[in-house]
């Protein structure tokens, strides 16, 4: 597990270096790959593959490529916590019911649809200047799809659970519980 954390730290650190050095060509290649369902663009592979160990399988590579393409769409620094917490911040900032609906769709995503849901989510977060913790997202994606749905449960807890940041309590879930 420590090795996976180190890999996520190194990988996102390299993405941040691209951003900080304003490597426009590399970031543009990664952004173009965001429009692909698989994230599989030769230009993006040329950016990302030098950073990945050869031992990763295609499924793992896809997760790294996805995070790289999403980072290129919204490379704002300062994110902390899970995507559930980022959505909690978004809900507090917008007070829009559509945020919760979008979040519910993300939580219910099957792995083959996750990339599209994440692209929409990141675009929405970027539009409202809500940063993403890219290291945590990469770690979470590497754990997506487990039968226990531990990642989805943690995101849900961060979105709806009690905490310092308030969220709009008028939600379809709360309405169901009151009935």
CATH number of the domain bearing residue 125: 1.10.520.40
**Whether residue 130 has pLDDT greater than 50:** yes
How much is the average pLDDT of 11-31? 95
H/E segment holding residue 137: helix 134-142
How much is the average pLDDT of 68-73? 95
Q: Where does the pLDDT of residue 165 fall: very low under 50, low under 70, confident under 90, or very high at 90 and above? A: very low
pLDDT at position 6: 86
How much is the average pLDDT of 60-73? 94
Asked if residue 78 belongs to a domain, the reply is no
Which residue, of 39, 73, 107, is where some domain finishes?
73
Report how far residue 143's alpha carbon sits from residue 149's, in angstroms, rounded to the nearest whole number.
Answer: 9
Burial class from Cβ neighbours inside 10 Å (0-12, 13-18, 19+) for residue 177 reads: exposed
Structural domain boundaries enclosing 139: 83-178
pLDDT tens, residue by residue, 114-124:
999 999 999 99
pTM of the model: 0.84
pLDDT at position 148: 86
> In the numeric block, which tokens belong to residue 123?
């675009």
> In the numeric block, which tokens belong to residue 58?
């295609």
Report how far residue 28's alpha carbon sits from residue 113's, in angstroms, rounded to the nearest whole number.
Answer: 23
**Whether residue 168 has pLDDT greater than 50:** no
Report how far residue 5's alpha carbon sits from residue 22's, in angstroms, rounded to the nearest whole number.
Answer: 26
Number of domains in the chain: 2
Asked if residue 10 belongs to a domain, the reply is yes
Taking each helix axis from N to C end, the angle separating 97-107 and 83-94, rounded to the nearest 10 degrees, works out to: 160
Q: Where does the pLDDT of residue 164 fall: very low under 50, low under 70, confident under 90, or very high at 90 and above? A: low
Same domain, residue pair 31 and 88: no
Same domain, residue pair 61 and 97: no
Burial class from Cβ neighbours inside 10 Å (0-12, 13-18, 19+) for residue 179 reads: exposed
Distances 97 to 18, 138, 163, 171 between C-alpha atoms, Å:
35, 27, 20, 7
């Amino acid at each position: 597990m420590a090795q996976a954390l180190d890999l996520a730290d190194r990988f996102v650190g390299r993405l941040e270096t691209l951003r900080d050095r304003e490597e426009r060509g590399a970031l543009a290649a990664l952004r173009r790959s965001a429009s692909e369902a698989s994230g599989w663009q030769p230009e993006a592979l040329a950016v990302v593959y030098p950073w990945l160990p050869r031992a990763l399988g295609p499924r793992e590579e896809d997760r790294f490529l996805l995070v790289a393409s999403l980072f290129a769409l919204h490379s704002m620094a300062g994110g902390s916590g899970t995507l559930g917490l980022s959505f909690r911040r978004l809900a507090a900032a917008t007070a829009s019911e559509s945020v919760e609906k979008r979040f519910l769709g993300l939580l219910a995503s099957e792995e083959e649809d996750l990339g599209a849901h994440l692209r929409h989510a990141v675009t929405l977060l970027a539009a409202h200047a809500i940063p993403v913790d890219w290291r945590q997202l990469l770690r979470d994606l590497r754990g997506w799809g487990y039968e226990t749905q531990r990642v989805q449960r943690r995101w849900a807890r961060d979105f709806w659970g009690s905490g310092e940041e308030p969220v709009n309590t008028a939600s379809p879930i709360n309405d169901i519980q009151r009935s």
